[in-house]
Copies of this chain bind each other. A is one copy, B any other.
Amino acid sequence: MHLENNVYLEGEDALIIIDRRKLPRSEAEVYCTDYVEVARAIEQMMVQGAGDIAITAGYGLYLAARELERQNGGRDMAGLKQAADRLCATRPTGFHLAVLLGKLLERVRKNAAAKASEIILAVLDKSLARQREISQATGRQAETLLTSGDTVLTHCFAGAGLLYMFKYAKENGKDVKAICTETRPYLQGARLTAWSLSEMGIDTSLITDNMAAYCLSKGMIQKVFAAADRIAMDGAVANKVGTLQLAICARHLGIPLYILGYGGSDRRTLRGHEIPIEERDPREVLEFQGTPITGDRVQAYYPAFDITPPELITGIVTVSGIYRSVEIGALQSH
Measuring CB to CB, which residues of chain A are less than 8 angstroms from any residue of chain B? 24-25, 155, 179-185, 187, 190-191, 194-195, 198-199, 203-215, 217, 240-242, 244-245, 248-249, 252-253, 277, 282, 285-286, 288-289, 291-295, 297-303, 306-307
Please report whether the interface of chain A is mostly helix, strand, loop or mixed according to DSSP: mixed
CB–CB A184/B198 < 8 A: no
CB–CB A208/B211 < 8 A: no
Tell me the complex Cα distance, A282–B294, Å. 24
A297 CB, nearest partner CB in chain B, Å = 4
Contacts of A295 in B (CB 8 A): 24, 194-195, 198-199
Contacts of A215 in B (CB 8 A): 301, 303
CB–CB A301/B203 < 8 A: no
28 A-B interface contacts by CB (under 8 A): A155-B210, A182-B285, A184-B210, A187-B294, A190-B294, A190-B298, A195-B294, A198-B297, A199-B295, A204-B297, A205-B301, A206-B294, A206-B298, A206-B299, A206-B301, A207-B285, A208-B285, A209-B210, A210-B245, A211-B301, A212-B245, A213-B306, A214-B277, A215-B303, A244-B249, A245-B249, A248-B248, A288-B289
Choose among B198, B244, B294 the residue that contacts A194 (Cβ–Cβ < 8 A). B294
Tell me the complex Cα distance, A248–B253, Å. 9
CB closest chain-B residue, reference A286: B206
A277 CB, nearest partner CB in chain B, Å = 8
CB closest chain-B residue, reference A181: B210
Choose among B184, B210, B294 the residue that contacts A24 (Cβ–Cβ < 8 A). B294
CB–CB A289/B286 < 8 A: no
How many identical subunits does the complex contain? 2
CB closest chain-B residue, reference A306: B214
Choose among B183, B185, B213 the residue that contacts A244 (Cβ–Cβ < 8 A). B213
A23 CB, nearest partner CB in chain B, Å = 9
CB closest chain-B residue, reference A203: B299
A197 CB, nearest partner CB in chain B, Å = 8
Tell me the complex Cα distance, A292–B297, Å. 28
CB–CB B297/A199 < 8 A: yes
CB–CB B244/A217 < 8 A: yes
> 9 shortest A-B CB distances, which residue pairs?
A210-B242, A213-B245, A198-B297, A195-B295, A184-B208, A209-B210, A214-B306, A209-B209, A190-B294
Contacts of A25 in B (CB 8 A): 292
Contacts of A300 in B (CB 8 A): 205-207
CB closest chain-B residue, reference A205: B299
CB–CB B208/A293 < 8 A: no
CB closest chain-B residue, reference A183: B210
Tell me the complex Cα distance, A181–B300, Å. 10
CB–CB A204/B301 < 8 A: no
Choose among B185, B248, B298 the residue that contacts A208 (Cβ–Cβ < 8 A). B185
Choose among B185, B204, B217, B299 the residue that contacts A298 (Cβ–Cβ < 8 A). B204
A306 CB, nearest partner CB in chain B, Å = 4
CB–CB A294/B191 < 8 A: yes
CB–CB B298/A195 < 8 A: yes
For the A-B complex with A183-B210, A289-B291 known, give 5 more contacts whose Cβ atoms are closer than 8 Å. A25-B292, A195-B294, A205-B299, A209-B209, A288-B289
CB–CB B242/A211 < 8 A: yes
